Amino acid sequence: MSEENGLVAKIINSLNDVSKAAWDACAGDSNPFLSYDFLQSLETSGCVQAETGWQPQHIILFHSDNEDDLLAVMPLYLKSHSQGEYVFDHGWADAYERAGGRYYPKFQSSIPFTPATASKLLIKNNSDAQHMSEALISTAVQFTRNAEISSLHLTFVPEHEVEAYKKMGLLVRNDQQFHWFNKDYKTFDDFLNALSSRKRKQIKKERRGALESGIKIHHFTGDALCEEHWDAFFDFYVDTGNRKWGQPYLNRQFFSEISSKMADKIILMMCERGGVYIAGALNFLGEDTIYGRHWGCIEDHPFLHFETCYYQAIEYAIAHNLKCVEAGAQGPHKIARGYKPTKTYSAHYLRDEGFHKAVDNFLQMETREVDAHIDYLGERTPFKKEN
C-alpha cells in the first residue's frame, strides 16, 4: 500500500475484496470484459489463480478516509509465464534470462485469455481522469520496482491512451488485428454491394455452402441460454483448444458463471444438424462492438467457420446498429471476408535500464515492419476501390 496527498493505492488479491458496485463504477459498462462479473467469473471458476500462472494483483485507488469509494482501478496479474496474452514476449524472456536475468514472474495488466482492446485505466466518472491515469500508471511501475519484478505489461490498450503511457516512460508496441467496421449498412446485402463483384460472389458462395448439409444456426442470449448449450459448446471449445495450444484455458464452470451473471452480454451461436449441435461460436456484446471470442466444432463442414464466426457476426452488428466486429487475434484470411487490418497497442516497462533500451531499439524496427504490413494488407481488402 502507498499513500500520497490523501490518495491511497493498494493491491488486492481477489475481486471479492471490493464490491461489484465500486468496481463497475470505475469500469463502466461499455466493455463486457472489464466488468466485475466477467473478471470475477475467471477467479471463482479457478481459471485465474496463482496455480494457473495468473495471480490477481489488482490495483485500487481511493481517498484515505473512504476505502469503499473507489476512484480508479487497474486489472493486474502476477504472471509466471506468457501464455494466454496474445502479445508475444517469449523472445524477450529468453534474451533476458540468457543474459542472466529473471524474467518471470512479471506483472500483466490484461483481460486474461482475451485479445480485445480495452482500457486498463478504469476511472470513476467524477474523478480527474488525467490525474488518476497518471496515478494508476505510476503506482503500477512503483509496485514493479518495489517487488523487484522484471517488467510490467499492459496489453491491448486503446490508441487514445498511448501518449499517457509514453509520457510516463513506458514503451509502446504495435501489432495488428482484423476488425469489421459498419458503414451505416442497413442489410448484409448493403455490405456486399460495397465489395468488388468477385469477392461478393465468393462470399455468397461460402454462405450457401456452409448450410447446404442441412445446418441451422441459432442465436442464444439472456434467458434462452441453458446448461445444455454450454455442455455442447464446451466440447467444441475443448476440441479447438487441444488442437491449437494443447490445453484449454477455460474450464466448464467458467461458462456457467458468466451465463448466470451476464447472459444479456452473450450471444452464443450454435450450429445444429439433424437435432444435434455440431459447432458453435461465443460472442460478447459491448456498447458498440460485438466481440467474437471462441469457436469449436465436432464436425467439419466447408465454410461453416466463416459463416458462424464472421458473417453471422456481421449480420448481427448490422441488425443491431453496432459499429464494429472484433473477431479475435490473428487471421489474415479475414480480409477476404471484409475485415480490415487494424493497429493494436500495448505498453511495457522493463525495470532493467539496459534491457529497457534494448527492447526500445527492437520496437522501433518492429513498428516499421508492422506499419508496412498493415499498409500492404490495407491495399488488398475486398472493397471497391472508391471505398
Q: Are 267 and 274 in contact (CB under 8 A)?
A: no
State which amino acid sits at residue 298: I
Task: State yes or no: pLDDT of 234 exceeds 80.
Answer: yes
- The predicted pLDDT at position 387 comes to 45
**In angstroms, what CA-CA distances link 160 with 124, 258, 302, 387?**
18, 29, 40, 26
Q: Are 70 and 91 in contact (CB under 8 A)?
A: no
- The predicted pLDDT at position 245 comes to 59
Which residue pairs from 85-88 have beta carbons closer than 8 angstroms and sit at least 24 positions apart in sequence? Answer: 85/110, 85/153, 85/155, 86/115, 86/155, 86/156, 86/329, 87/115, 87/153, 87/155, 87/156, 87/173, 87/175, 87/346
pLDDT tens-digit readout, 5-24: 678 999 999 999 999 999 99
pLDDT tens-digit readout, 362-379: 999 999 999 999 999 999
Tell which wins on pLDDT, 328 or 201: 201
Residue with cell 496515478: 135
pLDDT tens-digit readout, 296-320: 999 999 999 999 999 999 999 999 9
* Whole-model pTM over 0.75: yes
Q: What is the 3-state secondary structure (H, E, C) of the chain?
A: CEEECCEEEEEECCHHHCCHHHHHHHHCCCCHHHCHHHHHHHHHCCCCCHHHCEEECEEEEEECCCCCCEEEEECCEEECCCCCCCCCCHHHHHHHHHCCCCCCCEEEECCCCCCCCCCCCEECCCCCHHHHHHHHHHHHHHHHHHCCCCEEEEEEECHHHHHHHHHCCCEEEEEEEEEEECCCCCCHHHHHHCECHHHHHHHHHHHHHHHCCCCEEEEECHHHCCHHHHHHHHHHHHHHHHHHCCCCCCCHHHHHHHHHHHHHHEEEEEEEECCEEEEEEEEEECCCEEEEEEEEECCCCCCHHHHHHHHHHHHHHHHCCCCEEECCCCCHHHHHHCCEEEEEEEEEEECCHHHHHHHHHHHHHHHHHHHHHHHHHHCCCCECCCC
Task: State yes or no: pLDDT of 166 exceeds 90.
Answer: yes
Taking the C-alpha atoms of residue 368 and residue 343, their distance in angstroms, rounded to an integer, is 12
- The predicted pLDDT at position 277 comes to 98
- The predicted pLDDT at position 5 comes to 67
Average predicted confidence (pLDDT) for the chain = 95
- The predicted pLDDT at position 332 comes to 86
pLDDT tens-digit readout, 54-89: 999 999 999 887 888 999 999 999 999 999 999 999
- The predicted pLDDT at position 378 comes to 92
